[in-house]
Amino acid sequence: MAEESAQSSPSAEVDDGVPELFQRSFPDVTFQAGRNAAGQAILSVDRKDAARVLRGCKEDPSLGFDYLRNLCGVDLEAQGIEVVYHLLNMRTKQNVAIKTVAPADDCWVEAITPFWPGANWHERETREMFGVEFVGHPDPRNLLLDEDMTIHPLLKAHPLADIELFQGVDVF
């Protein structure tokens, strides 16, 4: 569909130096850098490093990504659940998305709520919607769903149309 004249090419690659900045700050962590459609940096890290990198983002003034815009999960089906953290540096106005993947059969990531209070409800929501366990979360109750609900509605495996099947049946 890119041949349509109404569409221009996605934003040109911008070089805001964010991936390099992260690589300098965490030399021992391997980042897979990418760009989203708005030209903002995406950094994928291994989940064992994720919490450490995020703590650095918040507490290291040279990084300064101390504003958590968004935290959510994305279902990658076979690869597991991807947890995405959208961060902002208010001074330099740079954005970065940190991504980490939790495999479906061993679905956990480290919680960042202990040092980042703004992540609290986002992690709770991601947990109940995708079944990702946030290790070290101080209050891992269901947030939006019923407290005893054990299904994870935002998984692609959870059907939308067949919801009637779940109603009235003792699934919960």
Partner 1 sequence: MVADFDTIDININVGPQHPSTHGVFRMVLTVDGELVRDLDAVVGYLHRGAEKLLENQDYRQGIGIQDRTEYLAQFPAEQSYVMAAEKLGGFVVPERAEYVRVICVELNRIASHFMFMGAYGTDVGVFGTSFIYGFRERERVYRFFEELTGERMMYSYFRVGGLAWEVMDGFEEKARALLQELKRGINDINGLLTRNEIFIARTRHVGEISAERAIEYGLSGPVLRSTGVRWDVRKDEPYSVYDRFDFDVPVGEFGDCYDRYMVRLEEMRQAVRIVEQALDQMPKSGPIMPEKMPRMLRLPAGEVYVPVESARGEYGVYLVSRGGNHPWRCRVKSPCFTNLQALREMTVGEYVADSVVILGSIDLVLSEVDR
Nearest distance, CB of residue 143 and partner 1, angstroms: 6
DSSP class per residue in 12-67: PP---SHHHHHHHH-TTS--EEEE-TTS-EEEE--HHHHHHHHHHHHH-TTT---E
The reply on whether position 30 binds partner 1 by CB under 8 A is no
Binding mask 43-72 for partner 1 (x = CB under 8 A): ---------------x-------xxxxx-x
Contacts 24+ apart (CB under 8 A), 23-27: 25/56, 25/60, 25/62, 25/63, 26/52, 26/53, 26/56
Closest CA to 71 of 84, 59, 62: 84
Q: Which of 12, 78, 157, 160 binds partner 1 (CB under 8 A)?
A: 160
Question: Binding to partner 1 by residue 86, rule CB under 8 A?
Answer: yes
75 binds partner 1 (CB under 8 A): yes
50 exposure class (CB count in 10 Å sphere: 0-12, 13-18, 19+): buried
Q: Are 160 and 151 in contact (CB under 8 A)?
A: no
Q: Which is nearer to partner 1, 97 or 132 (CB)?
A: 97
Please tell me whether residue 10 binds partner 1 under the rule CB under 8 A: yes
**Residue 157 interacts with partner 1 (CB under 8 A): yes or no:** no
Of 97, 100, 86, 158, residue with least CA distance to 132: 100
Q: Segment 96-125, which members bind partner 1 (CB under 8 A)?
A: 97, 116-122
Which one of 144, 150, 171, 172 is in contact with partner 1 (CB under 8 A)? 144
What is the contact surface with partner 1 in residues (CB under 8 A)?
1-2, 4-11, 36-38, 40, 42, 58, 66-70, 72, 74-75, 84, 86, 90, 93, 95, 97, 116-122, 129, 142-146, 153-154, 158, 160
